[in-house]
């Protein structure tokens, strides 16, 4: 929040803010494959600590020198680059911290804390910026990364590399995540679904404020209530249903896309704020359930020695499709209206559901046996 506000103050333009987003996405597109390989070849706990210290240094830089948009863009790129190292390492490390049957509970806890923190801390961040300015906000950000690094130093897992396998050529090593996904029918199907979902969510999430204003007739406070409804559904979903979620089950992996697709279509059809709020709560619920199932399945199905590259690959797919979606959504909204964006978004999510649901059984390359349509393992 502080970074976006700072750039807007320095540039006074939406293009300046959009450029910040571009600098945050570029590291994913440019560095993710190589950093994914680093995650698989180096102790993951050490990488997470290093990423936290790197982000702390960048936040501290902006706390001291926040009068230049060039520095702001440099920090935006650097923060995203360090995060691209931290996030795949963290996701890859979860299966080493908890047992397989605890993956859903672990991911539910992580997801719920993240969403709840956004809901609670975003307004507080705005208050800090309004009262004290962006400098103290960045200073607090730097302190938070340092505290995170100190906590991670006590983690027992991730102290050794994920694999001691014989090194292969650089190109083959970097693309190892792609090879692992292509050779696993379920993961390959999930990759296609990821692209379709990002192609929907990029535009619909970015243009929700336009839908609220032009179609639902809501001002800023009403838009805030819509965001709160999404957050409420996102928090409530996994907490209430986590005991039923199972990795690799089609219902939990792909069913939420159908729910979200129907919500998008209903938002385009009904101009009622009263109906929009519960619909968006259902959207948040579908997003959270799908996220927990998706994350748990990737951790369960991917061999430990390529997890970093697989998570990095899925990040690239998501961010690439999201960027294209944002561009296409803006053009479509100007040409046909924002409702057309939500119709297309809903159809893309239903297509994601169909691709995932109609797929046949999958064979795990790790010798887990045949995964039937319900995701359970068959005879070994």
Could you tell me the pLDDT band of residue 276, with boundaries at 50, 70 and 90?
A: very high
Distance CA 132, CA 141 (A): 14
In a domain, 164, yes or no: no
Q: Assess whether 116 and 199 both reside in one domain.
A: no
Q: What is the pLDDT of residues 20-71, one digit of tens each?
A: 888 888 898 899 989 999 999 999 999 999 999 999 999 999 999 988 999 9
CA–CA gap between residue 285 and residue 352 (Å, rounded)? 17
Percent of the chain scoring above 90 in pLDDT:
57
DSSP one-letter string for 313-353: HHHHHHHHHHHHHHHHHHHHHHHH-HHHHHHHHHHHHHHHH
Judge contact between 64 and 11, C-beta under 8 A: no
| 94 assigned to some structural domain | yes
Domain boundary at 156, 182, 217, which?
Answer: 156
Provide the pLDDT confidence category of residue 345 given band limits of 50, 70 and 90.
very high
184 domain-assigned: yes
Residue in 29, 32, 103 with CA at minimum distance from that of residue 320: 29
183 & 51 share domain: no
Does residue 125 fall inside a structural domain? yes
Q: Are 26 and 84 contained in the same domain? A: yes
What's the rounded mean pLDDT across residues 231-244?
Answer: 86
For residues 188 and 96, membership in a common domain is answered with no
Q: Which domain holds residue 130?
A: 2-156
CATH number at residue 280: 1.20.1250.20
- The 10 Å CB-count burial string (b at 16+, else e) for 115-145 is beeebeeeeebeebbeeeebbebbbbbbeeb
* Structural domains of the chain, count: 2
218 within a domain of the structure (yes/no): yes
Question: Is the same domain home to 82 and 194?
Answer: no
The answer to whether residue 216 sits within a structural domain is yes
Q: Are residues 330 and 199 in the same domain?
A: yes
Residue 163 has pLDDT above 80, yes or no: no
Tell me: do 178 and 149 sit in the same domain.
Answer: no
- Asked whether residue 152 falls in the same domain as residue 261, the answer is no
Residues 6+ apart with CB under 8 A from 126: 1
Residues 216 and 116 in one domain: no
Query: What's the mean per-residue pLDDT of the chain?
Result: 87
Q: Within a domain: residue 223? A: yes
Local structure of residue 370 (DSSP, 8 states): E
pLDDT at 167: 55
């Amino acid at each position: 929040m502080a970074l976006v506000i700072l750039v807007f103050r320095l540039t006074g333009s939406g293009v300046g803010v959009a450029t910040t987003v571009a600098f945050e996405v570029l590291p994913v597109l440019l560095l993710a494959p190589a950093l994914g390989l680093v995650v698989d070849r180096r102790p993951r706990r050490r990488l997470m600590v290093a990423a936290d210290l790197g982000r702390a240094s960048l936040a501290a830089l902006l706390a001291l020198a926040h009068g230049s948009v060039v520095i702001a863009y440099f920090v935006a790129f650097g923060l995203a680059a360090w995060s691209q190292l931290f996030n795949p390492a963290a996701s890859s490390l979860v299966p080493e911290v908890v047992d397989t049957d605890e993956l859903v509970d672990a991911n539910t806890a992580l997801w719920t804390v993240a969403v709840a923190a956004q809901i609670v801390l975003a307004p507080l961040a705005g208050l800090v910026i309004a009262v004290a300015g962006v400098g103290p906000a960045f200073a607090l950000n730097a302190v938070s990364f340092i505290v995170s690094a100190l906590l991670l130093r006590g983690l027992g897992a991730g102290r050794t590399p994920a694999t001691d396998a014989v090194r292969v050529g650089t190109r083959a090593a970097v693309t190892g995540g792609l090879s692992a996904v292509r050779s696993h029918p379920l993961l390959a199907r999930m990759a296609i679904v990821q692209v379709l979902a990002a192609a929907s969510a990029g535009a619909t999430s970015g243009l929700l404020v336009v839908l609220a204003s032009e179609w639902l007739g809501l001002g800023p406070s009403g838009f805030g209530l819509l965001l709160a409804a999404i957050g409420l559904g996102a928090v409530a979903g996994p907490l209430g249903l986590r005991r039923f979620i199972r990795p690799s089950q089609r219902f939990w992996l792909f069913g939420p896309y159908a729910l979200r697709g129907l919500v998008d279509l209903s938002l385009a059809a009904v101009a009622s704020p009263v109906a929009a709020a519960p619909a968006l709560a259902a959207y948040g619920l579908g997003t959270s359930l799908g996220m927990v199932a998706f994350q748990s399945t990737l951790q369960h199905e991917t061999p430990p020695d390529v997890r970093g590259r697989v998570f990095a690959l899925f990040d690239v797919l998501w961010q690439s499709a999201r960027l294209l979606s944002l561009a296409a959504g803006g053009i479509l909204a100007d040409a046909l209206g924002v409702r057309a964006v939500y119709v297309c978004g809903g159809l893309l999510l239903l297509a994601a559901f169909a691709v995932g649901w109609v797929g046949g059984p999958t064979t795990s390359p790790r010798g887990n046996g045949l995964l039937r349509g319900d995701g359970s393992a068959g005879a070994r």
